[in-house]
Structure formats: structure tokens, C-alpha cells
Amino acid sequence: MNDASAGAVLVAGSANLDYVVRAGHIPAPGETVLGRDFATHPGGKGANQAVAAARAGGVPTRLLAALGRDPAAAVLEASLRGAGVALTAHRDHGLPTGVAFICVSDAAENAITVAPGANAALRPEHLPPLDGVGHVLLQLETPIETVAAYARAAREAGACVVLNAAPARDVPEALLRLVDVLVVNEGELALLAGDAADLPAAMRRLPVARVVVTLGAAGCVALDRGTLLRQPAFAVPAVDTTGAGDTFCGALVAALARGLALADALREASAASALACTAPGAQTGVPERAQVRALLVAGAAPSSLAGSTA
């Protein structure tokens, strides 16, 4: 296990252009819903998390992603530049930039379908040198073989490996053993651990020293080398939850990169994630660092030590 706490954050992962329709509710299978507002927003788990680490977390951040040579790529590049993210883009694959189709309900819930496009072309050999990188943040919208190769390279370079195991899919145990911090929701935890009815027990079954489980409006819990932590959510008027989980991940890694303990990092990430729900769009909803600080001051209850495990 690494305790790297300095240096830049490298996010390696997906970048998509999001096509978003607002509707009264999310369609059920076979149902057609008449929507209202339509907009396009920059998105993709990797790009969203990079924007969050830089904008909400305030740390030097780089993104490694595969993009097409199309107008969608230009939208993503502009968003990343605006957030202060340094981009390393692979383009020699002949594929279009990835896209996501999102329906957002009046209750701020969403349903998302992703067409990966160029994201599927991200390869192990595209990883740049990791000089000066303290934390590498990965997700599962790019080929799993590539994710594993990046985790291995990061571990060998002495960087802290953080995996957001989303979207939900099987993850080889060999990859999990390369991970220092795992971030999942309840569904993803159940898939990896076999059952998530007992959250602490499920987290203990995974071969990762630090496991964080997001619980939506219930906040989050974490197992930190045997110690159970709980962080309540910050109450906000939700408009759009798209990208809230990605904002949580980016802000969490940024806080760890600044040297915060996991309990304090959970509180920062929860504040950033809550603020992300108050504005539309994945990257456009990511708050500024000053907004996160203000909410932390105004804030909710601090994180709590819920007990320890053997």
C-alpha cells in the first residue's frame, strides 16, 4: 500500500459529449416519454473526474483520454482548458468521440446510455511518464486491460492507485489487488463482493485496504484499513444528479493528494458532490473550490468514526 500524498493527479479514462433531455420521468422499457429541454454538455467519467479534481479540488490535474477528430472533441477540449486540466489526447484510431444519451427527470434522477467511440481505443502504450504524479484515478469506461496496465504502471511508479469501479462490471481480483482506494456505489459493491446487504462485511471481503461506498442522499461510508467511517450527505436543492458521483471521485482524490486524511477527504468530496447536484450538466455542474470551502464552513455534521473491524 502506498501513502503517496504529494504531486499531481493523473486521471486516465473516458471523455464523452453528453446529449441531455429533461422529462417528467425516465422512460420504462418500451415507453416513449415526451421530453422538454435539450442540451449538450461535456462529459465522460474520466473527463468529469479530472475537471472535479482541478476545479473543485484545486490540485494540478492531467487527463489521458482518446478523442475523435470531430466537433465533439473541440467541446471537450474547451471544457478541460477552462477547468485548468492538462490534456493528453490519443486520436490515431479513426473513431468518433464518445457520446452519452441522458434523460434527466423532474426528480433529478437520470438514465444514461453510452456509445464509447474513441474511448475503446485507449491502450496501455498511451500512458505518459508518471514523473511528478502522486495519484492515478481510473474508471471502467475504457478497456479493462488498459485500466489494469495503468494501475500496474502507477503502482510500480509509487503512485497511489484509485479506481472508481463504474459503470458496474466484473473486475479481476488481480486488478483489485493493485488498487489502494476503491470507490463504488451499492450496486457496484454487490457485484464485486457478491452481496452488499451488510456493507462493512462486503467491504471487508475485497482485497483493497481502503474502500469507499457512496450512498446517494444517505452520504457515504468507508473502510479505512479496518476502521469504519461514515459521512452524512449535505442537504441541497437537487436539480441534476448527472456527474455527482464523478465529482465525488475527483474531489476525493484531490483532497488525498493535498495530504488530507480519508475522513476529511470524504467530507470535502461529499460537499463537492452535493453542489454538483444544484446545476445541470456533468462538468458544467462541478463547483469551484471556493464554493466547496463555503459549504464546508456552513456545513453539515463532520464525518464520524463508526467503529472498527478486525
Residue 306 pLDDT grade (very low, low, confident, very high; cuts 50, 70, 90): low
Is residue 93 within 8 A of residue 118, CB to CB? The reply is yes
Does residue 26 lie in a domain region?
no
Residues listed for the chain:
310
Q: What is the pTM of this model?
A: 0.91
Res 220 pLDDT > 80: yes
Res 42 pLDDT > 80: yes
Does residue 211 lie in a domain region?
yes
Does residue 266 lie in a domain region?
yes
* Segment 76-90 mean pLDDT: 97
Q: What pLDDT does residue 310 have? A: 33
Amino acid at 143: P
CATH number of the domain where residue 263 is located: 3.40.1190.20
Does residue 84 lie in a domain region?
yes
Candidate list 180, 224, 240, 246, residue with the active-site label: 246
Does residue 1 lie in a domain region?
no
Res 202 pLDDT > 80: yes
Res 2 pLDDT > 90: no
* Segment 198-205 mean pLDDT: 96
195 noted as active-site residue: no
Does residue 197 lie in a domain region?
yes
Does residue 88 lie in a domain region?
yes
Does residue 262 lie in a domain region?
yes
Number of domains in the chain: 1
Which string of DSSP letters, residue by residue, matches the chain?
Answer: ------SEEEEE---EEEEEEEESSPPPTT-------EEEEEE-HHHHHHHIIIIIT-S-EEEEEE--SSHHHHHHHHHHHHHT-EEEEE-TT--PPEEEEEEEETTS-EEEEEE-GGGGG--GGGPPP-TTEEEEEE-SSS-HHHHHHHHHHHHHTTPEEEEE--S-----HHHHTT-SEEEEEHHHHHHHHS--SSHHHHHHTSS-SEEEEE-GGG-EEEEETTEEEEEPPPP---S--TTHHHHHHHHHHHHHHTT--HHHHHHHHHHHHHHHTTSSSSSTTPPPHHHHHHHHHH--PPPEEEEE--
Which residue range(s) make up the domain with 137?
Answer: 8-14+44-96+120-308
Residue 281 pLDDT grade (very low, low, confident, very high; cuts 50, 70, 90): confident
